[in-house]
Each structure stands twice: as structure tokens, then as C-alpha cells.
Amino acid sequence: MSAPDEENIVADIIERARALDPTNARKWFEQLRVLHFDGGSIDIGCPDEASSRFLEENCRSVFTRAAQQITGHLVTVDFHVNGAEGSSEPIPAESGPALHPDYTFDNFVVGPSNRLAHASCIAVSQSLGNTYNPLFLYGNSGLGKTHLLHAICHEARKRSPGIVIQLLSCEDFVNRFIRAIEQGNVTSFHSQFRTVGALIIDDIQFLREREQSQEEFFHTFNALYNNGRQIILTADSPPTEIPSLEDRLISRFNWGLVARIDPPSYETRVAIVQKKAHLRDLPIGEEIAEYIARQVQANIRELEGALTTIYALAVTSKEPVTIELAQRALEGQIKLAARHISITDIIEVVTRHFDVRLTDLQSKRRSQSITTPRQICMYMARTLTKHSLEEIGGHLGGRDHTTVMHACAKIAEEKQSDPKMNALLTELTRQVTQAKPA
């Protein structure tokens, strides 16, 4: 037990950190304790691994600043998992994936758009391997797939603390497989994945075109499935629409339950904003929550971003959160959404930049000098307009939706891996949006 003045110090630091950065503050900060404090450093004890990791990743600098202001010393802050009061059991060694502390079922708002996905995740988490196997969730980015995967893990671990669960992104799976091949370690790779209680892979669409990884995953899947082990996968589209995925994988992904997540309704969005504010202990009026829910519609990550932007502005301007302040904070974002960008606008900018003609883009030509701008048009149309894959394909020479999907995925990947492509897309987007004043 810490001395009383140390307890006060942590409460003061938390209060100060909350004021400095309200959006990363959480209600559970109340459970933090001082483990050790001398003139130069403060060790803060966290209830579990997930909370310690969250603080480490998001709050280190703000806690340090707060601690320095409170103590008047140049102290450093460290976070440790401890046996703080009210904490859960000690975590077994080799406890599996690091989970986000916010991504629990309690913090997930259920509505018509995600009801089936949520219910199936609850069922699976209560009895791994015995209900829906595999469970396949799909939906656009930012609709809660990763959140649900973490929630399953939190719940399953609570029920059976010793359970071995592998949760990782598909990209991680592929990279670890490649490394195992390079290092001649494929056997240990097999045992790492084929003996777990549950294998959870996020964004499985990343397997497309990776033939050897698909082969490996096929055998992993079979080994787990035949032993009644739980498999859970997510993707941005249903199994049949993931381009260049082997048929035998597609059919296996359909063996269990495939659940779609749709964009949330207005009412669900309001409830999510309120839930997120509550989690951060931010006071939020109904009017503000409704305002945010009206402005941001398609992506919950952006809904959360809007909340953050508003409260960040309130802190920097030292003003209360009012509708007027919220409007000011979101002005830039809304302007972008209000500009009705058309595929023609995009084609115009892209053809000008690459010095090609629209008829080239619509032709069957497959030289790189034509395919790259064609694919960039598809990607930008997908991200900047609300047109369907079919409509986008229609504008570019009647290409089918899988071609468009493939192009979007390819450019999205290059954007990640190639800084030049990233810069080019930023510039082209700037040109398209500038040509369309709000």
C-alpha cells in the first residue's frame, strides 16, 4: 500500500493529465496507483496488461508533463502492471495478444447494423469452437470489426484464463510466415498456429495474391477446424468478393457463419458518441452528440475523431463545448464532405497529371503507363465519392467490380508501402478538392 501523500500525487497527476489531454483520459484511471516515487521517477501501477500498454502508447508524454507540473521536478513516469486494488487476477505468462482496453463488449454499441455480428461474437466468445466455426465478419473500414475481435478475446480470457488465443492481422501472419521460411523455421511456425485454442485473423483480404501464404493458411485452417478449434476472420468484403482468393478457401470461409456489419443508423451513431464520451469521462450534452452524429455518417473511427477534434479545440481555446465550438472544430472536415466530387473531376485531374486521354483509360490497353493512372482513378473514386464499384468500373471502360476492387486494394497497399505513391495521392486529392470549392 502506498503512503497517503503518494496516493494524492497520482490523483493530482491524473487530474492534470485529463485537463491536458481529455480525449486520451479514461474513467479507469481511477484505478491507477503509485508503486514507487522518488525525486526522479514515478512508477505507476496499472490494473492489467491492456491498460498499461494503452498508457504506454498514448499517455506517456502527457503523464510526464503532468507529473512535472505537479511535483515541480523533472521526473520521468513509468507504467507497470501491478496488483492494484480491484484488479483482475495476475496475468499468466505467455498470455497471448495485447488487447485494447476499450475494445470490450461493454463498450460496443449494438444497433440494427451490427446486431448479427455482435450476437455471433458473444456466442463464440462463450464457447470457443462450439457454435459458429469459422466466424467470418465483414464490412467497410471503421465499423467495429477489430473492436469485436478484441472483445471476444477479453471475454474468452475472462472465462478461461489459461486459453491460448492467437489474434493477429493477416499482414502479420504473412510476414511471420515469410520470416519462418527465410529462417528455415517453418515447423515451429506450424506448431505456433496449429495448436492454439482459437486463431483470430483480422483483415484476411490481405491474403489475396499471396499464393504460398494461402496454401499455408489452408493447412492451418484444416488442422484447427478438424480439432474443433475456433477460427475467426474479418475482411472488408464477403469471402466470394475477395479478389484472387483460392476457391477452397472461399468455400471454407462460408462453412460457418458469415456476418455483415453495415454503417450505423443515426440513433446508433448518437449512442456511440455518448458511449465514447462517457468512456473518457467527458461531459457531453445530447445536442452535441446529435450534432456529431449528423455530421459524420459512414465511419465510426471518424465519429470518434470528430469527438476528439471538438474536445481538443475546447482545451486549446479554453472554451466550453458548445454547438458553435463544435461547428468551428469540424468546419474543415464538413467542407470536404460537402464538396460533391464526381468521377469526372477525378479523371480530369488524373489524366492531366499523367498526360493520358480518357479513351486510353477506357481502352483495353494494359501497359503500365495506362494501368497505373486507371487504377489511381478507381482508388480515388472509391475513397472520394460514394459511387459503387460497378459504377466506377462503368466510367472506366465497363470494367467489372472485382477489377475495381483489385485496383483499389493495390493502390491502397502502395500508398502504405511507397512514400512516393502516398505523396502523389495526397497531391492529386488536393487538386481534385481544390477544383471544387465548398
Q: Which residues bind ligand ADP (CB under 6 A)?
A: 103, 107-109, 114, 139, 141-147, 272, 275, 300-301, 304
CB under 8 Å to 197, separation ≥6 — which residues?
A: 128, 129, 156, 160, 163, 164, 165, 229, 230
Residue 239, binding choice from ligand ADP, Mg ion, none, Cβ under 5 to 8 Å by partner class: none
205 binds Mg ion, rule: CB under 5 A: no
**Residue with Cβ nearer ligand ADP (275 or 436):** 275
**Residue with Cβ nearer Mg ion (133 or 146):** 146
**Residue with Cβ nearer ligand ADP (47 or 144):** 144
**Residue with Cβ nearer ligand ADP (147 or 157):** 147
- Min. distance of Cβ 167 from ligand ADP in angstroms? 12
- Min. distance of Cβ 143 from Mg ion in angstroms? 9
Question: Identity (one letter) of the amino acid at 252?
Answer: R
375 binds Mg ion, rule: CB under 5 A: no
* Separation in Å, CA 15 to CA 64, 77, 402: 13, 15, 52
- Contact segment (CB under 5 A) with Mg ion among 146-154, 291-299, 375-383, 403-411 equals 146-154
Residue nearest to ligand ADP (CB): 144
- Min. distance of Cβ 202 from Mg ion in angstroms? 6
Residue 144, binding choice from ligand ADP, Mg ion, none, Cβ under 5 to 8 Å by partner class: ligand ADP
In whole angstroms, what separates CA 247 from the centre of its chain? 28
Contact 135, 256 (CB under 8 A): yes
Residue 362, binding choice from ligand ADP, Mg ion, none, Cβ under 5 to 8 Å by partner class: none
In whole angstroms, what separates CA 12 from the centre of its chain? 32
Binding residue for Mg ion, selected from 23, 146, 268, 375, defined by CB under 5 A: 146
Residue 24, binding choice from Mg ion, ligand ADP, none, Cβ under 5 to 8 Å by partner class: none
Identify residues 70-109 at the interface with Mg ion (CB under 5 A): none
Nearest Cα residue to 34 out of 57, 1, 63: 1
**Residue with Cβ nearer ligand ADP (260 or 365):** 260
Q: Which CB contacts under 8 angstroms, 24+ apart, belong to 128-133?
A: 128/156, 128/163, 128/197, 128/198, 128/229, 128/230, 129/197, 129/198, 129/228, 129/229, 129/230, 130/228, 132/256, 132/257, 133/225, 133/228, 133/230, 133/231, 133/255, 133/256
**Residue with Cβ nearer ligand ADP (163 or 298):** 298
* Separation in Å, CA 289 to CA 51, 134, 258, 279, 405: 27, 37, 32, 14, 34
Applying CB under 5 A, the residues found at the interface with Mg ion are 145-146
